[in-house]
Chain A
Amino acid sequence: MPYSFTEIEKEKSWVIKFVFAFLLVFYFFAAQLLWVVTKLFFNDFYLPAKIPQLFSFRELIIVSIVALAVASLHWYYSTRNMIADLTGMLDARPPDLKDTYHKKLQNVVDEVSVATGGKNISCYVVPSSGMNAFAISDFEGNSVIGVTEGLLSRISRSQLEAVIGHEAAHIASGDSFSTTVICSLFGIYGALLEGINKITLRRSGDGSEERISVGARFGAYLLVVYMVLLVIKGANYLLNLFISRQREYRADAVAVRLTRDPLALSEALYLISRGWRGVGVIPGSLSPIFIMTPDTDGLEESEGVFSDLFSTHPPVKNRLKILLGMAHSDLGSLKSGIKERARTPVEEVPVAAGISSAAPVKDWLFYKDSSWQGPFAIEDLISSGLNPASWVSNINEGIIRQAAESSSLTDALKGRIPGPTKPENVCPKCDQPLSEVLYEGAPVMKCHYCGGIASGRDVAARVLAREDYSFHVETAVVAEALMKSHWAANPPNFFAVTDRLTCPVCKNKMDRGFFTYGLPIVIDRCVKCGNIWFDKGELEILQYLTEKNRGTSYYKRDVSKPLEK
């Protein structure tokens, strides 16, 4: 890492002083302007003959004190909980370590933390199917690297290492601290402003009478807020002048030094630039913390004095040119080198039996080659050629019997080694215990009897962001037919549902409804804990339809034929 601890601390205090001074000057001029305008306004009415005295020393002092107070308040409230505020806005969450994708992210972040000499870096996941990554740090030196679900599911491990290396470089150099302060001070208000813009635009487009009267009532209030936010947004633009585009090049270089793999970083940048980078409803004013601007605007990709000044990120083609130069490669071979990710058929797998702590329980003896062997774990039995007629004995029971007589071995022989079960989680349809399995890397609960799946709300969102499964041919057929018939038929009356299911987690009665209006698959949802019940195959149909909406390359072929291996 290029910077020493003291250098970073020095730069940190410089950033704090500079930004606060900026805030102070900004509010001083704003207050002064407001004061002069007010005076002129009243003077015009009452004392038309007298030219008002615009500046006086006493007023200047008062204005300064007001500016200082406002700036301090603004600073205090915006920077109290910077990490919590920003991650909250982005809806970022700590990783679910049972999830294989999230575990991989945690590992990679731990790795770069070691590379920085043991810096305290935690990782977060943003449940968005867009592709982006960000880094933030606070005054105490706590740092967060966040990655969207979409990025996590669509890049390889080495590409992920490169992206995380880039973010770690921002943290180590102190870049992320200054961007975090600036985004906390201004970005959040910018976000508010863009939100108001969207609402008012929608209102005027809507045109219904009720909306207009509501709009009129809030109109005046909104206008004032709008003006204030506009001014703050202007300040944000001014501060962005100091966020140099150079820092992105620098972070790219550090990432390459760490991973020794410039090609992986260029591939990752290329994939991110090609994909949708949106992060939920998050606007461009938070863009400095991201690896690539969430909003695509012409400014980022253009060159020249103006865009160099106002843009926080350099054009991706310049970044790629440098990286590809290091790798002795070029854009053409980069594009042709990016292979489509290999897909695997839909298959639930048991949760891995503990990595370092609990080894699989070995309590089965197996009569094979005329002798008793073992003890084995169930997995070992299967791999050493167990069949239903084999003689086995469980150490704990001490009886000799055939494999077919044991329910757990029968399950295992049928290829369904059950994951861990909890007696309180039972299938809402058939009362069988649900077992925890990984579905496309995400932990869900499955009924091995009816094939239904219970999944948390954000777990389902994760599955829908991932693109590693190739679907059954029937899924495509059923999904297409469903979409066609849905728009023709009358919508079902969900209020008349009489057979409400019981939530397998919290035992609340579940509500039936469409997954979303765009994806009219009927599912059951628990309003209390957010758990969703998918009947057999429904999750796969949803995955198929969301991927189709995203227009992934999987659909540029004939979906009625199975994917070739």
Chain B
Amino acid sequence: MVILFILFVILIVIALWLMGVYNGLVQLKMRVKNGWAQIDVQLKRRHDLIPNLVETAKGYMKFERETLENVIKARTQATQATTVKDKEGAENILTGALRSLFAVAEKYPDLKANQNMLALQEELTSTENKIAFARQYYNDEVTRYNTSVKSFPANTVAPMLGFAPEEFFELKDLAEKEPPKVSFT
């Protein structure tokens, strides 16, 4: 009888603990999801800007058909990617294509002075910054979530409850800034 009672108490304690772990992980996972939603919004904005960019550039860059087509192709592929890893790959290819577009655009001073182009470039810069910040935020949340999934004692039950580690999202910067010369010492 006493043993039964003790078993019962232990079961209840375990159930309570499981509930706590579950709720904690659900909350952390929600934050990861929110972080990803932010990235998704900005990626979509990036894809929306590109057709206009290519249209504007077309009038000036008649002999750069290949460069422009590469951007369009990369954009189409990026819009079709679904998983985090697929998106990462597709977006990095798109970044590469955009980089060569801007490198070529340097040769066309008229294009660089075009008001539409300037406005589009400002929008693209802003979107790139937002993507970078959203990515930073997302990766921070993933780190926090993954740490709790993998650390003891939650790691003993997390897989059973359906919590797997999430993937990081890494993306090259469009503007190839010099490596930041920062030290916090």
> Is A280 positioned at the interface, with any CB of B under 8 Å from its CB?
no
A262 to B182, CA, bound (A): 7
- B115 touches which one: A261, A376, A438 (CB < 8 A)? A438
Contact between chains at B183 and A110 (CB < 8 Å): no
> Is B162 positioned at the interface, with any CB of A under 8 Å from its CB?
no
A349 to B48, CA, bound (A): 25
Contacts of A377 in B (CB 8 A): 59
A260 to B175, CA, bound (A): 13
> Is B49 positioned at the interface, with any CB of A under 8 Å from its CB?
yes
Contact between chains at A356 and B52 (CB < 8 Å): yes
> Is B120 positioned at the interface, with any CB of A under 8 Å from its CB?
yes
Contacts of A359 in B (CB 8 A): 51-52, 55
- B38 touches which one: A114, A261, A351, A379 (CB < 8 A)? A114
> Is A480 positioned at the interface, with any CB of B under 8 Å from its CB?
no
> Is B69 positioned at the interface, with any CB of A under 8 Å from its CB?
no
A327 to B183, CA, bound (A): 7
> Is A355 positioned at the interface, with any CB of B under 8 Å from its CB?
yes
Contacts of B51 in A (CB 8 A): 359
From residue B183, how far is it (CB to closest CB) to chain A in Å? 6
> Is A108 positioned at the interface, with any CB of B under 8 Å from its CB?
yes
A326 to B185, CA, bound (A): 8
Given known pairs A104-B122, A110-B130, A355-B123, the reply for A384 and B59 (CB within 8 Å) is yes
Contact between chains at B35 and A117 (CB < 8 Å): yes
Interface window among B9-17, B95-103, B131-139: B131-139
Contact between chains at A256 and B182 (CB < 8 Å): yes
> Is B184 positioned at the interface, with any CB of A under 8 Å from its CB?
yes
Contacts of B35 in A (CB 8 A): 117
From residue B175, how far is it (CB to closest CB) to chain A in Å? 10
- Identify whether the interface residues of B are mostly helix, strand, loop, or mixed: helix
> Is A350 positioned at the interface, with any CB of B under 8 Å from its CB?
yes
Contact between chains at A118 and B38 (CB < 8 Å): yes
A157 to B119, CA, bound (A): 14
> Is A32 positioned at the interface, with any CB of B under 8 Å from its CB?
no
From residue A263, how far is it (CB to closest CB) to chain B in Å? 8
How many of B's residues come within 8 Å of A, CB to CB?
37
A233 to B35, CA, bound (A): 45
> Is B125 positioned at the interface, with any CB of A under 8 Å from its CB?
yes
> Is A112 positioned at the interface, with any CB of B under 8 Å from its CB?
yes
A356 to B56, CA, bound (A): 12
> Is B126 positioned at the interface, with any CB of A under 8 Å from its CB?
yes
How many of A's residues come within 8 Å of B, CB to CB?
40
A379 to B57, CA, bound (A): 11
Contact between chains at B60 and A326 (CB < 8 Å): no
A92 to B97, CA, bound (A): 41
Contact between chains at A355 and B115 (CB < 8 Å): no
With CB as the reference atom, state the residue of chain B lying closest to A437.
B115
Given known pairs A107-B123, A108-B126, A117-B137, the reply for A328 and B183 (CB within 8 Å) is yes
Q: Mark A355-386, 1 if CB is under 8 A from B, else 0.
A: 11001100000000000000011011001100
> Is B143 positioned at the interface, with any CB of A under 8 Å from its CB?
no
> Is A100 positioned at the interface, with any CB of B under 8 Å from its CB?
yes
With CB as the reference atom, state the residue of chain B lying closest to A263.
B181
Contact between chains at A355 and B52 (CB < 8 Å): yes
A328 to B180, CA, bound (A): 11
Contacts of B55 in A (CB 8 A): 359-360
> Is B116 positioned at the interface, with any CB of A under 8 Å from its CB?
yes
> Is A352 positioned at the interface, with any CB of B under 8 Å from its CB?
yes
Contact between chains at A383 and B115 (CB < 8 Å): no
> Is A103 positioned at the interface, with any CB of B under 8 Å from its CB?
yes
A108 to B130, CA, bound (A): 9
Contacts of B136 in A (CB 8 A): 115
> Is A540 positioned at the interface, with any CB of B under 8 Å from its CB?
no
From residue A11, how far is it (CB to closest CB) to chain B in Å? 21
With CB as the reference atom, state the residue of chain B lying closest to A112.
B133
From residue A244, how far is it (CB to closest CB) to chain B in Å? 21
Q: Mark B102-120, 1 if CB is under 8 A from A, else 0.
A: 0000000010001110111
With CB as the reference atom, state the residue of chain A lying closest to B180.
A260
Residues of chain B at the chain A interface (Cβ within 8 Å): 34-35, 38, 42, 45, 48-49, 51-52, 55, 58-60, 62, 110, 114-116, 118-120, 122-123, 125-126, 129-130, 133-134, 136-137, 177, 180-184
Residues of chain A at the chain B interface (Cβ within 8 Å): 100, 103-104, 107-108, 110-112, 114-115, 117-118, 157, 161, 253, 256, 258, 260-263, 326-328, 349-353, 355-356, 359-360, 376-377, 379-380, 383-384, 438
Kindly list 12 other residue pairs between chains A and B, CB separation below 8 angstroms, not including A326-B182, A326-B184, A384-B62. A100-B122, A111-B126, A114-B42, A117-B38, A117-B137, A327-B181, A355-B52, A355-B120, A356-B52, A356-B123, A359-B52, A359-B55
Q: List 22 A-B contacts (CB under 8 A).
A: A100-B118, A100-B119, A103-B122, A104-B122, A108-B129, A114-B42, A115-B136, A117-B137, A258-B133, A260-B177, A260-B180, A261-B180, A262-B181, A263-B181, A327-B181, A327-B182, A351-B115, A352-B115, A352-B119, A380-B58, A384-B59, A384-B62
